[in-house]
Amino acid sequence: MRDRSGSLSGSSRLADPDDAQASLPPAVTKQDQPAPSSRRPPDPGEEPSDAPANVSDMTDQATDAGAFELPTKRTFNPTQLGHSAPLFQFDAKKLRRDVSVPTLVGVVASAKGAPLASREFDVLTVLSRWFLDAPEDRARAARRAAVRAGASTQDVEAAADAARAKVITDGFVETTMYKLTQAIYGQVSKERYEALGRAIDNLKAVTITVPGFDAEQGTFNAHALSKVNLISKVVITDQQHRFDEARRENPRELARVFGRAKGQITLKIQLDDWIRDAIINRFGADLNFDVQRALKGQAKALWVQLEAFQFAEDLDGRELEHYELPMNDETFAGLRLNCHRPSDNVAKIRTRLNAILDTDPAYVGYEQVRDPDDGRRVHSIVVTRATGTLRQQRLRAAQGPEQAATPKELTA
């Protein structure tokens, strides 16, 4: 709560917005260890997602290369998935195939049929970002091709519009397992291929409840709750037969066949229609991929949910925005907190917020608002986030001097 002057009461952790931010912790830039391999049968008690994959078994390992960077290092997360973040078992040692969890928006979300964890979340948000970028990417390519062919200005734009519409209508993200592995891990290995293959299989098999979406009408409705899928179709193009044919009939042409196959589409994934609608209408949040990979456990779950909320503009006109998180039973349940004393739950929330502040330079700080009738009780916590130029400055400062010189690579 705010007093009449607009100031906040209570203790806070609030950094000076003008202070230069230290580099992100090593977890942001450090290469992950190889994901568990599925070349052996899973041991008793091993997480279900370590079962052999269907998708990864049909793809070939590619030669390792430099890390593939996402556009502006951003992923995209539809708002409904942000509100349902607890479905992704970010902190579980043993994953469950069926889960039901309360959320911060006051509904119980569920996932059935396959386990969801950080790996599945990363794959889904990367694919969502690629689908968001695909219409304009295809339009530019079609425009260039039409110009080279000598088409008129009108025909050039018509070709671009047709290419853009086709991507939206088909709903497929066209890529390769190599490119997807590079985007997630930065390096390629057989174990990582298999890990992402398992993640795609899980995303295809799971059914989830989506708060705030009416699947029958295809509209967003705060009072609706729908059971939907995440991925509708997965199409694999196996190029091995081309290589076998070249080896058999003309071995001298093998290098040329390999070179021609490099970069060709080997994986097509169709996101479910409700996700495509959310992406096309930008009903979601751009996520900082470095932060997404660095945060772990319940701090990551809280961050994903905060990113899905609408923050309020600063009353004093500063490049800041705020979100007030009430400290009540509903919030504690949505964050899976069940301490006997509310103050202990508040302390755990502060710990998670501290992890977010230490990892995401966009977050400036938070302030505890005391109950005016009981000064010992924390009524709410107001989280503060930078916007505009200030946000850009903090992001560039966190990436170091080299990144600060190239602001176009770090859009908010």
Q: How far apart are CA 205 and CA 55, in angstroms?
A: 12
Q: Provide the residue type at 4 as one letter.
A: R
The confidence score (pLDDT) of residue 13 equals 58
Distance of CA 250 to the CA centre of its chain: 45
Nearest to 362 by CA among 341, 330, 384, 346: 384
Residue 397 has what pLDDT?
85
* pLDDT of the residue at 345: 93
**Residue 205, domain member (yes or no):** yes
* Separation CA 403–CA 412 (nearest Å): 14
pLDDT of residue 390: 92
Which residues is 225 bridged to in the sheet? 211
User: Is 219 inside a domain boundary?
Assistant: yes
pLDDT by residue (tens digit) across 219-259?
Answer: 667 777 788 899 999 988 766 566 666 667 766 666 666 65
Same domain, yes or no, for 119 and 251?
yes
Find the DSSP H helices in 171-270.
Answer: 177-185, 190-205, 240-249, 254-261
pLDDT at 189: 80
Q: Can you give the pLDDT at residue 73?
A: 81
pLDDT of residue 65: 38
- Whether residues 281 and 327 fall in one domain: no
Task: Give the residue from 295, 321, 339 where a domain finishes.
Answer: 295
The SS3 of residue 365 is strand
d(CA 230, CA 214): 15
Examine residue 343 and state whether it is found in any structural domain, yes or no: yes
Residue 2 vs residues 6, 9, 10, 15, 369: alpha-carbon distances, Å: 6, 7, 10, 20, 8
Number of structural domains found in the chain: 2
Asked whether residue 18 is assigned to any structural domain, the reply reads yes
In a domain, 302, yes or no: no
Q: What is the pLDDT of residue 28?
A: 29
Pair 289, 177 in one domain: yes
**Surface-to-core class of residue 241, CB atoms within 10 Å of its CB (0-12 exposed, 13-18 middle, 19+ buried):** exposed
Q: 6 and 34 share a domain?
A: no
Q: Could you tell me if residue 301 is inside a domain?
A: no
17 and 60 part of one domain: no
Parent domain of 411: 1-24+310-412
Stretches in the chain below the pLDDT threshold 50: 1-11, 16-72, 402-412
Q: Is the dihedral of CA 114, 118, 121, 123 positive or negative?
A: negative
* pLDDT at residue number 60: 37
